[in-house]
Amino acid sequence: MSDTVPAHRYTPELAQQIELAWQDRWEAEGTFRTPNPTGPLSDGFERVADRPKAFLMDMFPYPSGAGLHVGHPLGYLGTDVTSRFLRMDGHNVLHPMGFDAFGLPAEQYAVQTGQHPRVTTEANIAAISAQLRRLGVDHDTRRTFATIDPGYYKWTQWIFTQIFGAWFDTVAGKARPIAELVAELDAGTREPDTNPFDRPWAELTEVERRQVVDLHRLAYLNQAPVNWCPGLGTVLSNEEVTADGRSERGNFPVFRRPLTQWMMRITAYSERLLTDLDRLDWSDSLKQMQRNWIGRSTGARVRFGDIEVFTTRPDTLFGATYLVLAPEHPLVEALTADAWPADADPRWTAGAATPAEAVAAYQLQASRRSELDRQAEGREKTGVWLGTTAVNPLTGADLPVFVADYVLTGYGTGAIMAVPGEDTRDFEFAEVFGLPVVRTVQPPEDFAGGAYTGTGPMINSSNDRLSLDGLDKAAAIATVTGWLVANGYGEATTTYKLRDWLFSRQRYWGEPFPIVYPVDGPDAGLPVAVPVQQLPVLLPDVDDYSPKTFADDDATSAPEPPLSRATEWTTVELDLGDGPRTYRRETNTMPNWAGSCWYYLRYLDPADDERFVDPELEAYWMGPRSEGDVGGVDLYVGGVEHAVLHLLYARFWHKVLFDLGHVSSEEPFRRLVNQGYISAYAYTDARGFHVPAADVVERDGGYFYEGAPVDREYGKMGKSLKNVVTPDEMTAAYGADTFRVYEMSTGPLEQSRPWETKAVVGSQRLLQRIWRVVVDEVTGEVRAADEAPSIDTLKALHRAVDGVRDGMTTLRFNIAIARITELTNHLTQTYGQSGPVPRQVCEWLTLLVGPLAPHLSEELWSRLGHTGSSAWASFPVADPAYLVDDTVQIAVQVNGKVRAQLDVPADADAAALEAVALADPRIAELLVGKTVRKVVAVPGRLVNVVAN
RNA sequence: GCCCUCGUAGCCCAACCGGCAGAGGCAGGCCCCUUAAAAGGGUCCCAGUGUGGGUUCGAACCCCACCGAGGGCACCA
């Protein structure tokens, strides 16, 4: 019966009481309020003024209706433990949390439930906030906000106007205010990078100048083929489309369709985004993903008459036997011949009467095909001939020019020189169309045929002006590139796979653009930024916030933003400095990545209505720490799935803000760690349906549900697998501290791991034993006594401190917990279950476990007679004197095999070790009749005698 | 196809800069406590590091190849 349980045992019930009480007290006392050096949140800064700062954060959650399962808090607890450790170890720690709340899922959930997205989103935020509070995390809740708060998105919109108001100076390699561009154009010290008009700047009308300037902005309107997803009713960025041509969210087909959309000129930052990766403390795999996505490749541009191609293999130019343009290439129309020649190959003409007909039909077909179709057709090469040829600048040969969809618009120049001898894709095309293959790289003897993409000496690459024969690849590239430059046929160049970021969405639940267009006048339709005094542009309430969606495969449909239906809102009279005028508002909204691009900055200064962040606060929390340091958040923890979305976009915005002088840090996230995933077993019955995993029992090596055998599988925790475990269930059964310790004990933070509810009891037992060291569970008396610990106990104590610090600083909390467990086991054995325990032992144990089990730590600290919070007590420091033994046991090996164990003084040097080892009778016996060739002695470790 | 990460007891995981493979937990066995069970305490058990080579006095660790798992990219010229 329960009356046999000691009255003062640390049971789940007691843990609950303690936890709820301390959570209330933390809130009431503002224990985790982090003071800023200046401004409205600076109360109490004196207390921490001389401490180093530490800014830790998680990727903030997207509040879905399902709430958190036990997988979500893994990262949150990792930063929480680190935050608490650093605070105890003398840092001024900032550990905030917010909510990413605009975007498709919230909108879809709202449509399903028939409620306004703000209602459902705010309810979800409240639910998740309660879950987080119950876990005992030390967030400074004064700094919490959601991206949907008008006070926040006002500044998201303002940053947009900054990007809109800037251009990228390729000479300076940085963004500058657009006014400086206009000034330089007016002064004649600079020519426009792009100018669609035939006349120079000085001769343009004011409206034409506006149009030229608009083409230079970092946020610009562009008509180009974009990813149109009829199933979602919106366009998407490249990052949101999967490799098989579907929407990442919803898995709908995506079509390439020319539309006018807002773009962000992230490509201007390709090189800096790439090279600055080297200055970040991120995992190699994550950096690699960004490098792949940016996709730099070096090569040459080569001109074949009017057609300019990009190639990474200019060395194979002698083998180029035809050219290919992308279907959307701007020169296609102009280059198309009037008629086929009499002897036109029927394979090249697609049976059309004229080249124009063939090309038009092919272009139409290409535009209607989704990205998925393009790949689904087994990559069979298709295309048509333009009826024209271009001259190979090296061989003088006439090369037929094709249009084919295996060449992509927007990469390189959208045109290629085809070298079927050395390129697999070109070879496939050449086979279908009967085009000649010229080998310019010598394949090995046993080469099977087809395109040879390996290395070898150049062949068939000579004429009277140039010879590459016999050269290796690098030398051939250098030679031919030099020749092309010298003769005006091309130049060396670098291209990137990264495309500009498509920034507008035809959805309701997002930040409105701070952009209006004059309705009348000569400048009608040209975009104008809404000035900061008139921000935020509030998202209007509308009757129907659902997007206009279409049949999944309706490629010809066109987007229709829900805001365009809010007629009261779209037309507005404003005075933007030139008197009241009528404007039409931009009705697209921003993608949900916008709000997460800068939220880390807002934590620093969450209520500021005058600026997006106080520069002094940015410099304090984010600024570079030394010459060449990029600055940024000291530890950012989140899932790897954001490798090329959020993390790339946020870096881009941050660099723009840096260039414009708004922040002092060059990068947003100095150190980034991807926490592992928690997976769980799931079970299927004989029909293949998932059964509730919680009710499956293991017996005789098999698994059973309601008596019937079931099959076990392993996967992500989720509703469909019926294997969800929530933190609420765990805190109800064991308490938050046990849950925290369990999650942290299962491996290093980066490691993915299985969830095992039945193993949680191990962490419960550990906390019970720690409690028992400090509190007599029968009497409830504190056991701390004024006596000195034995030398053994001191050594165990200091060793534990050393190990726990190591685990905490390297995010290997499992090691920290193991050291605490060892210490606890030592103390349990030494001091039993009752009677006095030296006070230092009680206090250090209490503090060591503090970051991991903060409520337990507070309770014990308080019972030990302290009035302040243990969260602000100093973390114990190990004395190195207790970490070393006077004597150490070393192994003596003969030829690498351990043959003896010897106790030697800890400070014995190599010579002494060697002498002792060779003098040992067992070793001496083994060496009889042998010659000692070498003795390796490593002080403190071992001796290895090599003999034969 | 290319790139990245990772393979250590039945399971999750430790092992410093290349130096005696085992810290911790789960599961399992036994003992104590208990009328009994649970809870609690104590104690024991189990691998030679995916495979095959190489470097080294010495390899879980470094190198090569292969196998397996997970992830990223992929008609990017």
> What are the pLDDT digits (tens) for A20-66?
999 999 999 999 999 999 999 999 999 999 999 999 999 999 988 87
Distance A781 CA to B39 C1' (A): 21
A920 CA → B49 C1’, Å: 31
Lowest mean pLDDT among A142-151, A209-218, A781-790, A897-906: A897-906
Average pLDDT over chain A, rounded to an integer: 89
Around Cβ A650, how many Cβ atoms within 10 Å? 22
Nucleotide nearest A409, from its CA to each C1': B76
Query: How far, in Å, is the CA of A543 from the C1' of nucleotide B39?
Result: 59
Distance of A680 CA from B50 C1′ (whole Å): 24
- Percent pLDDT > 70 in chain A is 98
Closest nucleotide relative to residue A311's CA, C1' based: B77
Q: Which of A412, A411, A431 is nearest to A421 (CA)?
A: A431
Considering only residues A598 and A714, tell me which one the structure prediction assigns the higher pLDDT: A598
Sign of the dihedral through C-alpha A33, A36, A42, A46:
positive
Q: For A817 and B24, how far is CA from C1' in angstroms?
A: 7
Judged against a pLDDT cut of 50, whether residue A921 lies above it is answered with: yes
Looking at residue A940, its pLDDT comes to 74
A699 confidence band (pLDDT: 50, 70, 90): low
- Structure confidence by residue, pLDDT tens digits, A162-220: 999 999 999 999 999 999 999 999 999 999 999 999 899 999 999 999 999 999 999 99
Buried b (16+ CB within 10 A) or exposed e, A741-765: bbbbbbbbbeeebebebeebeebbe
- The residue that minimises its CA distance to C1' of B20 is A891
Residue A538 has pLDDT above 80, yes or no: yes
Query: Which nucleotide is closest to A415, CA to C1'?
Result: B77
At A892, which amino acid appears? V
Residue labelled with tokens 């194979």: A316
Q: Is A698 left (phi over 0), alpha (psi -120 to 50) or beta?
A: beta
CA atoms within 13 A on the CB side of A404: 28
> CA A676, C1' B68: Å apart?
21
3-state secondary structure A350-376: CCCCCHHHHHHHHHHHHHHCEHHHHHH
- Least confident span in A160-164, A239-243, A813-817: A239-243
Q: Which residue is nearest to nucleotide B72 (CA to C1')?
A: A289
Per-residue pLDDT for A438 more than 70?
A: yes
Three-state secondary structure call for residue A587:
coil
Which region among A218-232, A373-387, A675-689 has the lowest average model confidence (pLDDT)?
Answer: A373-387
Task: Domains for chain A: give ranges and CATH numbers.
Answer: 296-496 (3.90.740.10), 725-881 (1.10.730.10), 885-947 (3.10.20.590)
> Smallest CA–C1' separation from A750: which nucleotide?
B5
- Angle, alpha carbons A271-A272-A273 (nearest 5°): 95
Most confident of A87-101, A743-757, A770-784: A87-101
pLDDT higher than 50, residue A152:
yes
User: What are the backbone angles phi and psi of residue A309, rounded to the nearest 5°?
Assistant: -115, 160
Give the closest residue to A139 by CA, choosing from A48, A300, A30, A287. A30
Bridge partner residues of A307 (DSSP): A304
Token pair 């535009």: residue:
A367
Helices (H), A750-812: 760-774, 791-809
- Rg of chain A over all Cα atoms, to the nearest angstrom: 34
Q: For strand A784-785 and strand A678-684, is the pairing parallel, antiparallel, or unpaired?
A: unpaired
Per-residue pLDDT band for A375 (boundaries 50, 70, 90) equals low
Distance A71 CA to B5 C1' (A): 21
- The token pair at A302 is 């080569």
Mean pLDDT of A543-551: 82
> What band does A313 get if pLDDT is binned at 50, 70 and 90?
very high
Mean pLDDT along residues A679-685 = 79
The contacts found for A615-620 with CB under 8 angstroms, 24 or more apart, are: A615/A662, A615/A663, A615/A664, A616/A37, A616/A38, A616/A39, A617/A36, A617/A37, A617/A38, A617/A39, A618/A663, A618/A664, A618/A665, A619/A664, A620/A36, A620/A37, A620/A53
What is the pLDDT, as a whole number, of residue A901? 75
pLDDT of residue A268: 95
- Nearest CA to A455 among A482, A477, A434, A436? A477
Instruction: Extract the tokens encoding A150.
Output: 């008008």
Q: What is d(CA A502, CA A237) in angstroms, rounded to the nearest whole number?
A: 5
Q: SS3 of A649, please?
A: helix
More confident residue, A912 or A674: A674
Residue nearest to nucleotide B15 (CA to C1'): A815
Name the more confident of A211 and A935: A211
Dihedral of alpha carbons A230, A377, A384, A422, sign: positive
With cut-offs at 50, 70 and 90, classify the pLDDT of residue A647: very high
CB-based burial label for A265 (10 Å; 0-12, 13-18, 19+): buried
Q: Where are the beta strands (DSSP E) in A212-295?
A: 219-229, 234-236, 255-264
Distance CA A948, CA A929 (A): 8
DSSP line for A13-26: HHHHHHHHHHHHHH
- What residues of A are designated binding site? 719
CA of A159 to C1' of B51 (A): 56
Task: Supply the pLDDT for residue A387.
Answer: 94
* Nucleotide showing the shortest C1' distance to residue A828 CA: B41
Contact A859, A837 (CB under 8 A): no
Query: Closest protein residue to B4 using CA and C1' atoms?
Result: A285
Helices (H), A148-302: 150-164, 178-187, 206-214, 270-275, 284-294
CA–CA separation, A594 vs A163, rounded Å? 12
| Dihedral sign (CA A905, A911, A914, A917) | negative
Across all strands, nucleotide nearest A821 (CA–C1'): B24
Does residue A682 carry a pLDDT above 70?
yes
Find the mean pLDDT for residues A61-87: 91
Q: How confident is the model at residue A376 (pLDDT cuts 50, 70, 90)?
A: low
Tokens of A640: 């790897």
Query: Distance between CA atoms of A227 and A503, rounded to whole angstroms?
Result: 12
What residues does A575 pair with on adjacent strands? A580
Amino acid at A894: V
CA-to-C1' span, A803 to B24 (A) = 12
Mean pLDDT calculated for residue range A519-547: 91
Residue A264 CA, chain-centre distance (Å), reads 19
Nearest residue to nucleotide B1, by CA–C1' distance, is: A424
Average pLDDT of span A430-437: 93
Nucleotide nearest to A746 (CA to C1'): B12
Exposure string (b/e) for A193-224, b if CB count within 10 Å is 16 or more? eebeeeeebeebeeeebbbbbbbbbbbbbeeb
- DSSP-derived secondary structure letter, A783: -
Query: Is residue A456 over pLDDT 90?
Result: no
What pLDDT does residue A93 have?
97
Nucleotide nearest to A416 (CA to C1'): B77
- Residues at the binding site of A for ATP are 719
As a rounded value in angstroms, the CA-to-C1' distance for A321 and B67 is 42
For residue A1, is pLDDT > 50?
Answer: no
Rounded-to-integer distance, Cα A400 and Cα A420, Å: 14
Beta carbons of A7 and A14 less than 8 angstroms apart: no
Show the tokens assigned to A500.
């500009």
pLDDT value at residue A232: 86
How far does the CA of A616 sit from the C1' of B5, in Å? 40
Most confident of A387-391, A640-644, A693-697, A711-715: A387-391
Q: What is the dihedral of CA A134, A140, A141, A142, to 10 degrees?
A: 160
Looking at residues A541-552, what average pLDDT do you find? Answer: 82
A419: nt with nearest C1' to CA:
B77
* Nucleotides in chain B near protein beta carbons (<7 Å): 3-5, 11-15, 19-21, 23-27, 34-43, 57-59, 70-77
Nucleotide nearest A941, from its CA to each C1': B19
Q: Which residue is nearest to nucleotide B75 (CA to C1')?
A: A406
Highest mean pLDDT among A134-148, A376-390, A635-649, A931-945: A134-148
In the structure, what pLDDT confidence band is assigned to residue A137 with cuts at 50, 70 and 90? very high
Measure CA of the first residue to CA of the last residue in chain A; give whole Å: 70
Residue A398 backbone dihedrals phi, psi, to 5 degrees: -85, 120
In Å, what is the separation between the CA of A678 and the C1' of B68? 21
Question: Of A200-209, A373-382, A464-473, A687-696, which has the strongest mean pLDDT?
Answer: A200-209
Residue A148: band (very low, low, confident or very high) from pLDDT cuts 50, 70, 90: very high
Q: Answer whether residue A370 shows pLDDT above 70.
A: no
Q: For A288 and B63, how far is CA from C1' in angstroms? A: 23
CA-to-C1' distance for A633 and B18, Å?
Answer: 35
Structure tokens at A628: 């060449």
pLDDT of residue A3: 46
Closest C1' nucleotide to A640's CA? B71
What distance separates the 2 farthest-apart alpha carbons in chain A? Answer: 109
pLDDT tens per residue, range A873-892: 999 999 888 887 777 777 78
* pLDDT tens digits, one per residue of A571-595: 999 998 888 999 999 999 999 899 9
A320, A399 contact by CB (below 8 A): yes
Please work out, in degrees rounded to the nearest 5, the angle formed at the alpha carbon of residue A153 by the alpha carbons of A169 and A262: 45
